[in-house]
Structure 1
Amino acid sequence: MKKLRCFSCWFLIMLLLLLSAAVSAAEKPLVEIDIYSINDFHGHLRAEGTDPGISCLSATVNALMKQNPTGSLLLGGGDMFSGTIDANEYQGMTSVMAMNRMPFAANVAGNHIFDYPLDVIKKQASAAQFPLLSANILAVETGKVAEPFQPYSLLTRNGLTIGVVGLTTGETKTKVSQANLKGLKILPPEQVAQQYINEVRSKGADIVVLLTHIGSVQGDGSNVEGEIVPVLQKLHGFDAVVTAHSHLCVSGTVAGVPVVQAGCYGEAVGRIHLLYSRAEKKVVAASTRVYKLADLPRLQDAAMEKLLEPIFKDVDAKYNTVLAVNQQLLTNDRNDASMVGDYFMDLLQSGFKADVALYNGGAVRDVLPAGTVTARTLIKIFPFDSTLYVGEVKGSDLRQVFEHGLGNAAISRLRFAGVQVTADVSKPEGQRISRLVLADGSAVVDDKYYKVVSNDFMFSGGDGFGSLKNARNLRDCGKDKVFFSFALRSFKTINYSADSRLQLIGRGEKNG
């Protein structure tokens, strides 16, 4: 009985303290709100190389949020679930599980959410303890926001109501597998954003945050540039913007509104600090900052480490099989030369006896270090679940692939084998290619068909490679990593040097 009375007293004291804190916050004329954000994490759960890992990220976020415990919220800027073997092996669920242990209040759908089909996305959303937002992903059948996405979320911090509206880049239409977009429609974000800004205001939102997976770039000083700017110029009534997609650190403003982006892979945490006046019923001051974890004390979340340890062990046991030995580092720059891309395109072209091998540059994600090459190494380079196809492509359509894939700032550089190419990247698309010659020295002829091997993403028109949709006699050749694993085991040793398959004019350089 005495223990019961003690517990009742303790509970009453805690309740009074909480009520007192709430009343105190409600009475303050100026209220501080801190919006923390992480974007483009891409499943980099493990600490390795320059990646701090989710344990360090979690502990750092917790330490930052303790500075304003009742006025802070953590938002995900999208592309959080997929991108590494630790995440992809479990269809992104390991990332969801880790994010559940952190205080994420919401996450926006990025383009890479569609690395998975919709039924898997629904399972991810069901497992997540935070809403998956996107106001501009609609179901074709109903014309409404598609399940499991929500257009916005209403949160409460320090006695204020915060409306968080989710927006996804329009580039999603061309940057994902078209099969995974079946039944969905991606609207330009500015077409629907104002509707939901108004709606959350009508429901009592004191502060409106646009949580976007839309790219931004740091301009001069605090000026922000990039894809997000024309979107914001068509909107009003919002107080803060979280951006993503361009993998850059951004801390600045657009027309006086604070904008942040926190790099990628968990390397940084974005923060928008808002000062809200109850008297004026608006945000009266704002500041932005990006915390780079490399510049902060190294903290660790022991509980998170314990949670993921058996997962890492299972992945390593399955994927640490040695496939080959590499003699020297093969570099990779998504927007420039890629020895990795060239090497694997050579494997594809020779393996399928094709005239030409093609791959979108964004599918080749890492370098190939010197030393042993394991299945895990291979998946770091090719993290996406791509299927190989062989088909016949008309010469004119093949030429258009190179016109679009070289010198195009909107996408990563095209990877290829089987042809010698000269391109003037200072010229507009359609006028860039001056030389397109096969390995036997013959020029590519417009009305002739050529055997081409590529992935499902490119043959479905991904990244704007629409001319490949005209290919005939397409044949499914299985998963790319199955082929690459077989090829590496066969050769056992990699001793590759760059060649001169690509000659660029307009930048004064040659690239292998």
Structure 2
Amino acid sequence: MKNTKKILSLALSLIITTTSFVGVYAKEEEESSVSKLQSVNLLDKDNTEEKLHKDLSRAEGLTMVLKSIGYSQEISKEEENVKLNPFDDVPEWFKGYAGIGSDLNLTNGKSETKYDPNSNLNKKEFIAFILRSLDYDIENSYSKAEEIGKKIGLLSKDDNINSKITKKEAAEYIFSALNKEIQNGTKMTLGEYLVKSNIISKENADSIGIIFGEEDNKNVHILYFNDFHGNVAEEITGKKRNMGMAKMVGYVNEFKEKHPNTLVLSGGDNYQGTSDSNLTIGKPVTSMMKGMNIVASAVGNHEFDWGSDKIENWSKDGDFKYLASNIYDTKTDKPVSWANPYMIIEEGDIKIGLIGLAHPDTPTLTKAEHIKGFEFRDPIKSAQEWVDYLNAGKAKEGKPDIIIALTHIDSDQDAKTGNITGNAAKLANEVKGLDCILSAHSHRSVSGKVNDIPILQAYCYGRAIGQVNINIDDNKEINIETQLFQGSDIKDKIIKNTDSDNFYINLQKELAPIKGEILGKATKEFTHDRATKGSNTLLGSWSCKAMAEKTNCDIAIQNGGGLRRTLNAGDITMGDLYEIMPFDNYLVTMELPGKDLIKAIDHGIDMPKTTDGVFSGLNVEYDSSKEYGNKITKITLEDGTPIDENKTYKVVINDFMFTGGDGYDFTNAKNVDETYIPIRDVLVEAIKEAKTITPENIDYIKDIEKVLKAA
């Protein structure tokens, strides 16, 4: 009996000792994370033991995460950050952090105006903050917080995701997060980002055990962007999607550090679109292309906007190749001299064949004079011809291991089903021998497969970066996957390239006198939503009336895509006008038969491939349920006089439309006068004369189908 008691006593003593040891060990580990974060100023040093063991409030939890990614108390107090705060229930000290957290999409609060700062935070909410700081998807970061947290090692297998959390526990999770990869495709860890951002030193990072991401020396990668349209400025207000040239170059550099076998490609339409680029004929975009070390680009329709001679200059100055296998010189019946049909690049252990393809609709999307002498052949036939050529080993560089179509050809993807459509999908279904298709033109986010062929399109304006990951296994088998990273999700942790940033800053100084000139004021927003169908826009209506007044015409017609964005309320600058009207189009007046006038207006309603046309001087009723091109049920002049098909009417349009742009047909026009008066100048003049402009409600175009349904 005595021996039994001794054994039990010894066992109990051992259990107590072991338990005490585990408790001490856990305590040391917890304190270790706290002290490590404090040593690099990522956690306040005035935390008492009592504070560390206290349950974390919602305000404290968000503040801890923001401090851990470099937002100090001083930064949070800056006026611009305090103004970002959307909540009316937060204390003064927390307003800046609430603003930053909301701006970075780390939190949406309890509602649009309430954050509930003093209530207790649970682990699920805190882990969601951390996952979002690592650029995980905003919704999944909360709904799948436990799944993702355990997968990446933030949470242990036994963690209760719904329990309360103390500051000590929070510090453990934060320190663990420093060694997790940011979800922007670069393989950079959060701690590594803090070092590169000069928030903590490399020496201090090493001392607390921060790990840098591993290099991928085996696989080959392609970074891809398309339809940049001169958007060299980072978008810092509104939806904050455009990354801008400095962060585009910065991203490429960050990616290449971990992925040495990388090439950068573009889908075209890069230069025209903003005052920064238009006023300098693409100078900042060329600088960006060089900074990214771009290898090749497809030829977009907007590459022709200033004449084909610019294409060759951009290629030379940017040190990259244009590829186009379906643009032929009509004089020589050979591919144009300023673009190659294909190129073969050896990267890593494989040869990559690239075949360039331009959009077949380029002749109707471009001023006729700029594509004179060029033939745009069927991309499917051209692609097959050059795929067969490369696979037969006829190229001097040898037979490629894979063949990728680098195109300015459209695609779209259903957000729910993932189904991909468009001309790029036709390529995938009809061309045999392609391994991947890089799409553009339609300004869509596309990443998926058609006929087992990966298709990728990276939105537009530098709002996304696409990745093609060419994975090579030990047996040299190749598997191709595509990914998309949206700028609004990742750009807060992209480090600007210094040279590109300095170039942009100096460019703004150079252009400030031109861009900054205030022309007048808009009392309200002149909207121009290019996705709107079946109606004129406020900006379109105003611009048409200005065109008609300038030329003493009764009717004005403008293609909707000739205007590129909304005119915001407030001061109107010359820079605004260059972005709204980036094209150097001019006015063309004519006497147009009534039959052709009706046809032109009908052509611009519910356009299936591009932005709807806009007009003034008419009253139009149409039936949206009818087939395209035959929708108009009633059309009159403003005074109600019906349009007579046999009479002529004085009409003003732009030269792009006159030469068949967007599929318009004015071949029956009489007494045509190509005035050569730039439309941008007409709009500038109208604003200066009026000093203040106000949008007028549009009541002269009606869909009777909607009226009948409403009745």
**TM-score after normalising by structure 1:** 0.90
Secondary structure of the residue that 2:521 maps to in structure 1? Answer: strand
1:287 paired with 2:477, answer: no
Secondary structure of the residue that 2:656 maps to in structure 1? Answer: helix
1:34 paired with 2:221, answer: yes
Greater share of strand = 1
Aligned alpha-carbon RMSD (Å): 2.0
Secondary structure of the residue that 1:135 maps to in structure 2? Answer: coil
Gaps of at least 5 residues in structure 1 are 1-24
1:454 paired with 2:653, answer: yes
Query: 2:591 touches 2:672 (CA, 8 Å); kept in 1?
Result: yes
1:231 paired with 2:427, answer: yes
Greater share of helix = 2
The aligned residue for residue 485 of structure 1 is 684
In the TM superposition, residue 476 of structure 1 has moved relative to its aligned partner by: 2.5
Aligned partners of 1:54, 1:505: CA distance in 2, in Å? 46
Aligned partners of 1:419, 1:320: CA distance in 2, in Å? 36
Instruction: Choose which of 252, 260, 264 in structure 2 pairs with 1:61.
Output: 252
Instruction: Choose which of 656, 662, 676 in structure 2 pairs with 1:463.
Output: 662
Instruction: Summarize the Cα distance change of 1:509–1:379 in structure 2 as closer, same or farther, 3 Å threshold.
Output: farther
Query: 1:459 touches 1:471 (CA, 8 Å); kept in 2?
Result: no
Aligned partners of 2:354, 2:418: CA distance in 1, in Å? 23
Identity of aligned residues (%): 30
1:94 paired with 2:284, answer: yes
Structure 1 residues 63-462: aligned runs within 5 Å: 63-69=254-260, 71-201=261-391, 202=393, 203-219=398-414, 220-276=416-472, 279=475, 283=478, 285-296=479-490, 297-336=493-532, 337-462=536-661
Question: When the two structures are aligned, how many residues end up with a matched partner?
Answer: 479
Query: 1:168 touches 1:212 (CA, 8 Å); kept in 2?
Result: yes
Query: 1:154 touches 1:200 (CA, 8 Å); kept in 2?
Result: no
Instruction: Summarize the Cα distance change of 1:439–1:55 in structure 2 as closer, same or farther, 3 Å threshold.
Output: same
Aligned partners of 1:44, 1:63: CA distance in 2, in Å? 21
In the TM superposition, residue 469 of structure 1 has moved relative to its aligned partner by: 2.7
In the TM superposition, residue 300 of structure 1 has moved relative to its aligned partner by: 0.9
Q: Deviations over 1:320-350 (max 9, x none)?
A: 1111111011111113152111111111122
Query: 2:228 touches 2:461 (CA, 8 Å); kept in 1?
Result: yes
Q: Deviations over 1:406-435 (max 9, x none)?
A: 012112111100001111122113421011
Letter in 1 for 2:668: N
Instruction: Summarize the Cα distance change of 1:217–1:508 in structure 2 as closer, same or farther, 3 Å threshold.
Output: farther
Q: Deviations over 1:354-405 (max 9, x none)?
A: 1110110111111111111111111111111111111111111111112211
Gaps of at least 5 residues in structure 2 are 1-214
Letter in 2 for 1:170: P
Query: 1:118 touches 1:180 (CA, 8 Å); kept in 2?
Result: yes
Query: 2:324 touches 2:339 (CA, 8 Å); kept in 1?
Result: yes
In the TM superposition, residue 303 of structure 1 has moved relative to its aligned partner by: 1.0
Letter in 2 for 1:334: R
Letter in 1 for 2:659: S
In the TM superposition, residue 60 of structure 1 has moved relative to its aligned partner by: 1.6
Secondary structure of the residue that 2:646 maps to in structure 1? Answer: coil
The aligned residue for residue 19 of structure 1 is none
Aligned partners of 1:507, 1:148: CA distance in 2, in Å? 50
> Which protein, 1 or 2, shows the higher relative CO under an 8 Å CA cutoff with sep ≥ 6?
1
Instruction: Summarize the Cα distance change of 1:449–1:243 in structure 2 as closer, same or farther, 3 Å threshold.
Output: same
Query: 2:546 touches 2:682 (CA, 8 Å); kept in 1?
Result: no
Aligned partners of 1:230, 1:86: CA distance in 2, in Å? 36
Aligned partners of 1:193, 1:157: CA distance in 2, in Å? 22
Q: Deviations over 1:205-260 (max 9, x none)?
A: 11111111111111354432112112222211121111011101111011111111
Aligned partners of 1:505, 1:382: CA distance in 2, in Å? 32
**TM-score after normalising by structure 2:** 0.65
Larger radius of gyration between Structure 1 and Structure 2: 2
Secondary structure of the residue that 2:703 maps to in structure 1? Answer: strand
Aligned partners of 1:282, 1:349: CA distance in 2, in Å? 63
Query: 1:364 touches 1:381 (CA, 8 Å); kept in 2?
Result: yes
Instruction: Summarize the Cα distance change of 1:282–1:505 in structure 2 as closer, same or farther, 3 Å threshold.
Output: farther
Instruction: Choose which of 468, 475, 483 in structure 1 pairs with 2:673.
Output: 475
Query: 1:114 touches 1:180 (CA, 8 Å); kept in 2?
Result: yes
Aligned partners of 2:319, 2:592: CA distance in 1, in Å? 47
Letter in 2 for 1:273: N
Secondary structure of the residue that 2:484 maps to in structure 1? Answer: strand
Instruction: Summarize the Cα distance change of 1:357–1:121 in structure 2 as closer, same or farther, 3 Å threshold.
Output: same
Q: Deviations over 1:145-196 (max 9, x none)?
A: 1120111111111121111111111111211111101000111111211121
In the TM superposition, residue 353 of structure 1 has moved relative to its aligned partner by: 1.8
Query: 2:353 touches 2:390 (CA, 8 Å); kept in 1?
Result: yes
